[in-house]
Every structure is written in C-alpha cells, then in structure tokens.
Structure 1
Amino acid sequence: MESVDLGQPTLVELFTAVVARFSDRVAVTADDQELTYRELDRQAAAVARRLRDSGAGTGSLVGLMVPSTSRLVVGLLGILKSGAAYVPVDPGYPEERVAWTFKDSNVTHLVTTPELAERSADLGVDVVVLDGSEAASEPAGTGAGDLAYVIYTSGSTGRPKGVQVEHRNVVRLFDVTRDRFGFDENDVWTLFHSVAFDFSVWEFWGALLFGGRLVVVPQETARSPRAFHELLRDQRVTVLSQTPSAFAGLAAADAQAEQPLTGLRVVVFGGERLEPAGLRGWFARHGDEHPRLVNMYGLTEATVHASYRPVTAADIAVSGTSPIGVPLPDLAFHVLDETGRAAADGAPGELYLSGAGLARGYLGRPELDRERFLELPGPDGTVRRCYRTGDRVVALPDGGYGYLGRTDDQMKIRGYRVEPGEIEAVLLAEAGVSAAVATAHGYGEGDVRVVAYVASDIPADVLAPRLGERATASLPPHMRPSAYVVLPELPLNLNGKVDKTRLPEPTAEAAFAPVAVGTDEAAELTGTERRIVQIWQSVLDLPEVGRDTDFFDLGGTSLSLLRMFARTNEEFGTDLDITVLIDGATVATLARHVDSALPAAAPRP
C-alpha cells in the first residue's frame, strides 16, 4: 500500500525533533549501557544505513529479535529510520514459531544480536547484526500512512495473525492522551513488556516522543517483584505500565518494602480485566492520587489503548463489571445486540470500535479483515469502518463503560490474547489424539493457566509429556498448557460441541504435567527438598514433582512461581528473593539456597 497523509508526522520525524531538543539528555538506561538521545539517534541511523544498503527500505518488513537491552531500542529505531516496519519476535519463542512468523510475514531482513545471529542462519533472511557500527545516514522518506510494525496475535483458526499498524495510528495515540497524563521530558518510563506484546509500543514511545528516559527492564528483574520494586525506586520511575496480574506481585512487594516509590506519579493498567477490589491494600498505603491509577481497555487492532478510566479508592466496592471508562477522543464505542442494533441503555452487548486508532488490517488475511473490520451504517446514514472486538460491555450510569467478558472462547493469559483454537490445532497433530480443548483455569490469586483436555486411549502419563514437548516446539510460553487431562472422550452437548461445564476439574488426581516426572527420586530427597516438593505439589496441583525438573517445565507460570516462592519463605522463615532461581528453578536449586539462608533465619521446626 502506498504511503498516504504525507502532511502528518511520522514517528521518526517526531523522534528527530526530540533529538534536536534534548540531544544530551539520557534517552535509554539499560544493564548494558546508557545512551543519550544523540547517541541513540546515531546508532539507530547506522542500523538504518546497513538495512538500506542490503535492500530493505520503505515498504519492507524487517524482523526484530533482540533481548531486553539497549540494543533492542537501537534496533527498533533503526528499522523505522530505514523506512521499513518491524516484525517483533521474542527471543524466548521456539524456533518453529519464529520461522513460521517470518515466513508468513515474508520478512526479508532480520535485526538481531551477535549472540542470536547463529540461531537465525536457517531462517532464509538477510541478517543485520547490532555491532555498534557508526556508518550513519539520513532517515528514509516515509509517510504517516506507512506501516510502523506488524505484531502477531493468537489466531482462532490455528494460525497467528499479523496486525498491521501505521505510523499515524501510534502518533495520534499520544496526541489524544498527552494532556490527560501530562507526559513530558521529566518522565521516566519502563520498557517492561516484551516487544512482541503491543503494550511495549505505549512504553517505548511514551518516553521517546517527549524527551523522557526509557529504562529497559531485564527479564530476570521483571520476574522478581522485589527486584523490580527496587529498580522503580532507584531509577525514580514516574510512569509505570502493568497488567493487573503483574501489578499484584509488585503491590505485594511494595507492602513489604522499607522505602516507598516516591517518584511514581501514574500507573497505567491494560492487557487484561482489572478487578478494583484487588487494589484495596495499595490504596490503603498510597491513596488514589499519588500515584494516580488509570485503567485503559485496548487491543492490538485499535493501537494499544482505546479507553481511559481513573481508578479511585471508591471503586473497591465495584463488582460484576470492570470499569474501563470512556473511549479516547478520536475513537467511538458502539454497543450492539445480537441483531446488530444498538443495545438498549444499560443492556450489555458486543463492542464495536471506530476511529483513527484502527489498524490497517491483518497481514495477508483478507477473509479475516472482512470478518472483523466491518463497514457499518451510522445513525446519520454515513458508513463507518468498525472493528468487531468480541468483547461484551455495558454502558454505566456514570457515562463510562464496564467490561463483562468475551462473546467467544478467547482467553487472556498474563495480558496476551490467546485463541484456544491455535493451541488445540497443535495438540490434534499428535497421533492418538482425537479431540482437544484448551481452557483457562484459575488457580487463585490471579494465577490463570492454560489447561488442555484431550481425548485419547494413550495413558495420560505417557501422552502428557509428548504433548508438552510438541507445545514447547510450537507455541510461545504464555500459550503452552500447564496441565493435561486425558479422557476416553470429551463430553458433548446436544449440538455436538464440547460441553465445557462437564469437563472435570484439573486436580492433582486428574491432571498431568507437560513433562515426565520420575518417582525414583523420593528416597534421595533431603528434608528441605521434601518440604519444598510438598509446596510445589500444592501450588502446581500435581501429584509428583521431580527434584531436578524446572518449575516452568512442570507447567508453572510467573504468577504461580511468585506464590510458590512466598510460601517457601513462609515455611522456612527465610527472606530469599526470587532472583536466586535465575539459573534454574528446580527443587534442588531452591533447597540449596534455603539451606544456606537458614543459619541466619529462624527456621520452623
């Protein structure tokens, strides 16, 4: 598609203006280095030069696979400066997923690091390695209607789908939110989320379009609420973006912290349903003004955020609906009933979105565009382009909206939209599996995991590890089932569809881990290891746990890891931080750290 709206600024043009104003201010803080705006601009321009010299440019799609360091910021900016759009993949994704994404998007080049370049050898793309080259050049000519990025989300047909977002979509997001938040050059933001998750777009440009500072959060720090709390305090972060489930862990760390987060002025929630009652402890310590808490409903197809709702202490009493507020000024909400007519006042319906934030559409999926991006008649007879969200909402008496849930089976797992059909397609590829259903199951304290139910005659202890291996090879971590329940057949309703209400609970007796767990280790366990095994069995709801099996391989999630660690510290009277497991989360490793800490602690008898 040709560039349009050339009179509007692009992200690169706005960034160039920021560099001119704040050239000597620090733009990026990361573990590997700090970069001023001038240094960041020069290094990104060097990447752009190398991309253009190798044939990439305006209209190209370039893969981006870089860990959470300053090089991630350089690489992303370099791609945009070349005129191309970036297609991000998380380095933690399996090889099969990375290769599929690049093939589907037809990327021609990949920007990556020397450490990951060898992994990219068989992807069939030209690799540009981030090596600190200084051969800079001027930005390529792009327009506001050119693509900025293509981010892949889960697909209901078993295929992920790439959402095409243009420069103007992102630029207008900050045009309409700047005054509400007061963003400026004094703000410090964190890049907490994976660049393959669109929440990162908000974090990245929220800092760099206003002359602020972007703090890149290392993965190991992101996994530890205590370490992350310390980073927020030490870096005096002012703007924090979090999914509600991630914030729950941070709030728990904050409750135990000796020093408060005095620099924080606003927390933005997004990615998943917010339950205000879960903020009771936070409001008791901080009130609801310093920092302000804001809930922003959104989705990738509408460029990250679509609504705005300050959350106050009074909202603790709200139940049944999650308040998402009012649409951003250049968007409109349309709540339609099952007949496609406007829902009556106070009646729930499906949300359709229209306005300047809507993405160009899905990459190479015209049939899906026709299904989700619709032309609907307005009350004045005009036709408006809308996105059918699949979310159920209701207009509230205060003038805002409340989120009720989904109209389909789509799940939200740690902020990611997950289509169960994509998981089920992977499981059905295993010989001996005649039917499969993936569901979201809550294990308490906001810990939601994927559970797979499969129909097969193969013994569960044999089949579950096979399916776990297949899922690990094909699916990103947030989509992999944490447990497998194997049944002779899945219960059906009168329409011949799986009756999810009749599926058994994934208890320890019914569910199996996605890896094989040996039973011959029990006699070798130390006393500390036995107590830790019992904790793991309780948190993971599994009958068996091996001393040398990784917690995540057993189906654990980041939230269940936090729960397990809190219980371990409580059980042994220790004060260990979760970062002790950075090199491996096994019973044996954790037991060694517990034993080392016990002389200085007050162990239970």
Structure 2
Amino acid sequence: MTAATPDTAPDRTGPSPGACPVVAEFARRAQAGPDRPAVVLPEETVDYRELAARADAVARALLDSRGEGSEPVPLMVLHPAWMLAACLGVLKAGKYYVPLNPHHPDARNRDLLARLGAALVVTDGAVPGRLPGRITVLSVGELDVRPGTPGEPGPAVAPDQWAYALYTSGSTGLPKGLLQNRADMRQNIDRHAALGIGPEDRVTLINADGFVAAVSNPYMALLNGAALVPYSFQRDGVHDLIDRLDAAGTTVYYSFPSFLRQAAAVSEGRTTDRVRLAYLGGESVHSSDVLAARRLFPAATVAVGLNSTETGLTRLRLIPPGAEVPDPVPVGGPVPGVEVRVEASPAVPAAVGEAGRIVVRSAFLHAAQWTDQGPRPLTEAVPEADSGTACEPAPRDFRTGDRGRLDGTGQLVHLGRVDGMVKVRGYRVETVEVESAVSAVTGVAEAAVVPYETADDATELAAYVVAKDPDLTDAALRRALSETLPTHLVPSSVLLVPRLPRTRNGKIDRKALPDPASGTSGTAVSRPAPAHTPAPAPGDGPDEARARVLGQVGEIWSDVLGAGPVLPGDDFFSLGGTSISALRVVSRIRKELGVPLRLAVIFETPSLEAVAESVLRELKGT
C-alpha cells in the first residue's frame, strides 16, 4: 500500500505561500557572486552560476515529469555538487527530498523506496536493482543544464511545507523518517550566525563514504556565499587531511569529534594556520578533543554545539585560542530563537547543577515522524502560549532523549542519553533496530545489543547472541547483517553466549553481560599469534614476494583485530573490523612497509588477499 503523502494529511494550516526561504537566499547569493566557488573538488570547482543552473535543471525536470505539488523525491546521488544541486532543485520544484545512501544495502533502500511510495528517484547512476512499483529514474547526467540562463521561478510554497525527510535508526526496529519544514530549516541556519561564515570562507563537508545527506552544514555555507570542500573518510582517509585542507584553502573545519581524533592520531605534527574555526558537533566533545583541534589548527577558535535531527542547533559555545578549556566541555549558551531548560521530572525545573532531561522550546520546532498514515508530530504545543503569527509561529516543546545540567553561568553540560539511542561513528543508532536485525538472522535464538566504549573513547556496538544453530559463527552473523544493515549498524563485537543473564522479573540484565572490549566471540578458541614475516626482499620471485606481503599484512590484521591467524579470503569487516581499526591497519602498513596505502582500499576490497595485492603493487611502484 502506498504511504500517505504528509502534505496531503488533514488539518495542516499555515501562512500564505511564497518563495521557499532557502531557495530564495541561495538565488540571491548566486546572483551576487556567480563566479565565486560553491563546491571545491580535487577534479573540478563548481561555481555558484553552475550550481544554480544544475538546480534549475533538476527543478524543470521534476515539474515536467510530475507537475506541481508536494511529494517525496528520493535522492541517490553520490557526486557532491550534483547532490547539492538536486536538493536545491527539489526544494525549488515545491517538493521535499529524501536522501538515500547508494552505499547502503540494496534491500534496505528498496524497502525505504517502497515505504515512501515515491513515483520518481533522482540519481547519478547508483540505484538498487528491481525498484519497487513503477518508479521513474531521473538521471542527472541527462538533464539540460543552462549556465548563465536565469531559471523560471518555482511554484509558490508555504513556509510550513516539508523541506526534507531524513531516515535515521529507529527504536521500533525499522529506520525512522524525520520530516522538517522549510521555515524551521531556514531558521536553523540563522542560529549559526555567531560562527561568522561569509563569502571568503571555505567550509569542509566531511562524510563517511562520499554520500552527502545535505541537511544543515551545506546550507550554512551556501546561504552565506561560502564554498564547500567535500571530503570522504573512506575514500580520502585522514593521513593526508592537513595537506588537503591547505591545498583547498579551507578556513572552516567541521566534523564529528571522532573523525578529528583519528586525524590527530596520525597527523605526525602537521598543522595548518589557514583554518580560523574548528566546529565540533554531532557527538559528545571532550576537553581532549578541543586540545587536539588546537594542535591541528593553532589559529582556530573551537566551536562546540548541541544539535539533533529533530531540533537543529540548540546551544553553541566558542572557545578562542588560548582560552581555558573546561572539563567537561559545556555545549554552550543560547542561540537565536531557542530556549533550553532542564527538567528534574516532567514540568519540574531542575536546580542549578542538578541533572535532568533536556527540553527544547522554539517557535520553529515542527519536526514530525513519517508514518503510513501521514506525519506524526514529535513536538508539543505550549499550553499557555498564544496562537502565533505567520512570521512567528506559536512555540512548541520537544522533550529530547538527552540528559544535562545548567551551571551557574547558564552554560549547558551534556551528560549523555536517557534512552537507547547512541552515536556510532557520527551516526544516530537505536540499539533496538540492530537487536531486531540480529534476532532475525537464521540460526539465532535470542540476542541483545549494547553500546560500549573502546580504548580510544569511540562508541561501538556489541551483540550477545544465543545460537540455535551450532554452526553459526560470529563472522557468518556479520556477513548476514551486512546484507540488510549499513556498516555503522553492524556490531563490531559479536559474542556467542550459552544464555543471556536475566533480572528477577525476567528481563535481560544488560549490566551483567560480559565485557565486549575483546571483540571476540565467547565460543572462540585461543589461537597462536602468527610468526613475524619479513617484507619482500629485492631478490624474491613473484610468488615469494606475494606470500611474504600476505603474511606481513595478515600479521598486522591479526594484531589489530585480535583475531588470531587470518586466511587470504577473510573479510576485514566480517572479522569485526571497523573504520577505526581500518585506520590503524593502514597506519601500520604505511609505517612498517613504507607504502602510502589509501584507507579506501580496505572499504573497496576488504579481503586480506586483495589488500595485500594493493600493497604489493605499491611496493613495485605500479
């Protein structure tokens, strides 16, 4: 059954239609500085004129194919400039976009497309096979792009019409679609004004695998005339980050703290004075993260913010160079248009310094969850507030899943979550969704999934599995999960256990689960560490050289993963590898073999044999 379109749901009223505020501001920037760079890539620089022309081409094609009217438009576009153009084009056409990562399993993307009931998908070539229903595929490579020719005005839209839907991990065991409207989206960008981003800035657009979700960070740059510098962790790694930032003239660095930690760990003393602002968000920020940012960017002010998909930015703190770094690091003071309070219990304010649930209030807080029956509001009207106006809607409350406390100066300290949501490698993860997927694997009788902290302060997932199939292995389980879940949802540690501990009332006693830090199965047997194998000697023949490199790389894998002897066909991620451990492997190979191996090699060809072949080619200089 086709899902209900949110904008056709009953009882939606709002201000009069007009130009989309995001599209209108971008058009002004493109008109004022058409030759200014908008997206800076190693292979090309796309200026504002070209980006606007691409957006116009997308809007024309959508209106020609579908006509006017709000509807979801899934975007499966990997090229960063085209993805940004597609987002702007969908908004201009009066519709709302839904980013779907082409790197995620086909089965997952097909399911999301079916749940959306979308009639059309925009792509640059990457779509899952056997698309559900009769979905039209709009390829950006076939569009009529007309640089320098002003585009036709888009249809009028109301500020409370949806701008985008973003799928995140869900607490029901399925991905959760979150909707944001256009007015809220624009106001969230204004909340970043204290960062002072302007036309002379170049702002990083760092992502895990090359896919740009395009929610807030890109518009923070584009609506202020700045340029974006896309950077992919999996494709580009972190070893050459500082050199790449310098070469691109980057002035504003933005990333999750976990990415910064990895960059700092392999920087080997390299720094850049070009970066004036280092903005850390999306995860908890420690004092050590601020100090790491200062080592990499000596001239930078460090910005720390608190934000979420539902609320946007809610607090912001700027820490100038040389200023004292508190521990813990507060997430800041108020931002325009947002009030934050801490409640000891519902409607009962917490005292200064007392921990409680964080509640956000704003007139621009209309997030909703996608359902088959239409949107379900995630925020609550404030009973004592007036009805608001077209320019300033009535305020609404959102009870977050975050804990915090306010200090005597009004600074908010974030104290973690009160529910099952955690951040893994920068992604929102509901452990219930992962637990549901693990339990559905053939051969699993029962499962529990919990987050845990690794030795380097990263958060990963551990799965405790009671098997009904005696032949089930941790590697086989991970392989099965990788067919339906994105990599960040696949547990890095799988422990096969005879039973799960229970409390007196029969619930799983998660506090009594064994320590997952070893990352090995409870049924695994102790295996001897492989003997050291030297790098290929100059006189080695092809077979000898290949065997020696295979042994050397296998030893590094074994040591990093704690996996014992590794076979040539073993998959790095099936052995429990993560982005963090992949970085460690690449660092070891670079240091011990003198080979500038790219991190992308492990993600693109994750078998031991394939990685060893890449190392061998580098050693031979081919």
1:508–1:542 contact (8 Å) kept in structure 2: no
Alignment partner of 1:536 is 2:557: yes
Correspondent of 1:165 among 174, 180, 192: 180
Identity, % of aligned positions: 27
Partner SS for 2:461: strand
Shift of 1:273: 0.7
Q: What is the match of residue 511 of structure 1?
A: 521
Shift of 1:108: 2.0
Q: What is the match of residue 197 of structure 2?
A: 183
Partner SS for 1:148: strand
Correspondent of 1:308 among 294, 316, 340: 316
Correspondent of 2:348 among 334, 338, 341: 341
CA deviations 1:383-405 (Å, max 9, x no partner) are 95211211110112332011111
User: Counterparts of 1:77-476 in structure 2 under 5 Å?
Assistant: 77-113=88-124, 115-117=125-127, 119=129, 121-122=131-132, 124-134=134-144, 137-138=151-152, 139-178=154-193, 180-193=194-207, 200-218=214-232, 220-222=234-236, 224-257=237-270, 260-284=271-295, 286-287=297-298, 290-303=299-312, 305-311=313-319, 318-319=326-327, 321-364=328-371, 369=376, 372-375=378-381, 384-459=395-470, 462-476=472-486
Q: What is the match of residue 3 of structure 2?
A: none
1: CA distance, partners of 2:219 / 2:276 = 18
Q: Amino acid of the residue matched to residue 557 of structure 2?
A: W
2:266–2:587 contact (8 Å) kept in structure 1: no
TM-score, with structure 1 as normaliser: 0.87
Alignment partner of 1:62 is 2:73: yes
Partner SS for 2:358: strand
Q: What is the match of residue 493 of structure 1?
A: 503
Partner SS for 1:296: strand
2: CA distance, partners of 1:315 / 1:485 = 45
Correspondent of 1:548 among 569, 581, 586: 569
1: CA distance, partners of 2:304 / 2:453 = 22
Alignment partner of 1:560 is 2:581: yes
Alignment partner of 1:51 is 2:65: no
CA deviations 1:234-253 (Å, max 9, x no partner) are 11111221000001122234
Question: Cα 1:267–1:588, aligned 2, differ >3 Å: closer, same or farther?
Answer: same
1:373–1:387 contact (8 Å) kept in structure 2: yes
Which structure is higher in helix share? 1
Partner SS for 1:588: helix
Shift of 1:425: 1.1
Question: Cα 1:189–1:592, aligned 2, differ >3 Å: closer, same or farther?
Answer: same
CA deviations 1:471-491 (Å, max 9, x no partner) are 112211111112321222210
2:493–2:520 contact (8 Å) kept in structure 1: no
1: CA distance, partners of 2:120 / 2:235 = 30
CA deviations 1:523-551 (Å, max 9, x no partner) are 99944443433332332233453333332
1: CA distance, partners of 2:233 / 2:259 = 13
CA deviations 1:60-98 (Å, max 9, x no partner) are 110000114322222222212211110001111111211
1: CA distance, partners of 2:595 / 2:530 = 29
Q: Amino acid of the residue matched to residue 140 of structure 1?
A: P
Partner SS for 1:297: strand
Partner SS for 2:191: helix
Shift of 1:317: 6.2
1:447–1:560 contact (8 Å) kept in structure 2: no
2: CA distance, partners of 1:271 / 1:596 = 38
1:322–1:404 contact (8 Å) kept in structure 2: no
Q: Amino acid of the residue matched to residue 582 of structure 2?
A: L
1: CA distance, partners of 2:122 / 2:523 = 36
Question: Cα 1:342–1:37, aligned 2, differ >3 Å: closer, same or farther?
Answer: same
Shift of 1:322: 4.1
1:88–1:196 contact (8 Å) kept in structure 2: no
Greater alpha carbon shift after TM alignment, 342-351 vs 187-196: 187-196
1: CA distance, partners of 2:550 / 2:137 = 46
Q: Amino acid of the residue matched to residue 114 of structure 2?
A: K
2:208–2:234 contact (8 Å) kept in structure 1: no
TM-score, with structure 2 as normaliser: 0.85
2:337–2:362 contact (8 Å) kept in structure 1: yes
Shift of 1:595: 5.8
CA deviations 1:302-357 (Å, max 9, x no partner) are 13x221012367887644x4421123221111211235411122110011111144
Q: What is the aligned length? A: 586
Q: Amino acid of the residue matched to residue 310 of structure 2?
A: E
Q: Amino acid of the residue matched to residue 491 of structure 2?
A: P
Shift of 1:365: 7.2
2: CA distance, partners of 1:281 / 1:545 = 34
2: CA distance, partners of 1:520 / 1:158 = 40
Q: How much is the aligned-residue C-alpha RMSD, in angstroms?
A: 3.5
1:270–1:415 contact (8 Å) kept in structure 2: no
1: CA distance, partners of 2:387 / 2:73 = 41
Question: Cα 1:123–1:73, aligned 2, differ >3 Å: closer, same or farther?
Answer: farther
CA deviations 1:202-246 (Å, max 9, x no partner) are 321122112221223356444x11233222111111122100000
Unaligned stretches of 5+ residues in structure 2: 1-6, 389-393, 534-543
Greater alpha carbon shift after TM alignment, 583-592 vs 269-278: 583-592
CA deviations 1:568-597 (Å, max 9, x no partner) are 444456665545657524433444565677
Q: Amino acid of the residue matched to residue 71 of structure 1?
A: W
1:242–1:268 contact (8 Å) kept in structure 2: yes
Q: Amino acid of the residue matched to residue 180 of structure 2?
A: V
Question: Cα 1:50–1:294, aligned 2, differ >3 Å: closer, same or farther?
Answer: same
CA deviations 1:169-228 (Å, max 9, x no partner) are 1211222322x1212111112222269999842321122112221223356444x11233
2: CA distance, partners of 1:537 / 1:591 = 14
Q: What is the match of residue 603 of structure 1?
A: none
2:272–2:296 contact (8 Å) kept in structure 1: no
Q: Amino acid of the residue matched to residue 502 of structure 2?
A: L
Greater alpha carbon shift after TM alignment, 321-330 vs 144-153: 321-330
1:117–1:129 contact (8 Å) kept in structure 2: no
2:358–2:401 contact (8 Å) kept in structure 1: yes
Partner SS for 1:217: strand
Question: Cα 1:375–1:47, aligned 2, differ >3 Å: closer, same or farther?
Answer: closer
2: CA distance, partners of 1:31 / 1:152 = 29
1: CA distance, partners of 2:76 / 2:399 = 31
Q: Amino acid of the residue matched to residue 587 of structure 1?
A: L
Question: Cα 1:542–1:368, aligned 2, differ >3 Å: closer, same or farther?
Answer: farther
Q: What is the match of residue 541 of structure 2?
A: none
Q: Amino acid of the residue matched to residue 203 of structure 1?
A: N
1: CA distance, partners of 2:510 / 2:602 = 37
Partner SS for 2:104: coil
Q: Amino acid of the residue matched to residue 331 of structure 1?
A: V
Partner SS for 1:426: helix
Greater alpha carbon shift after TM alignment, 41-50 vs 23-32: 23-32
1: CA distance, partners of 2:614 / 2:482 = 28
Unaligned stretches of 5+ residues in structure 1: 601-605
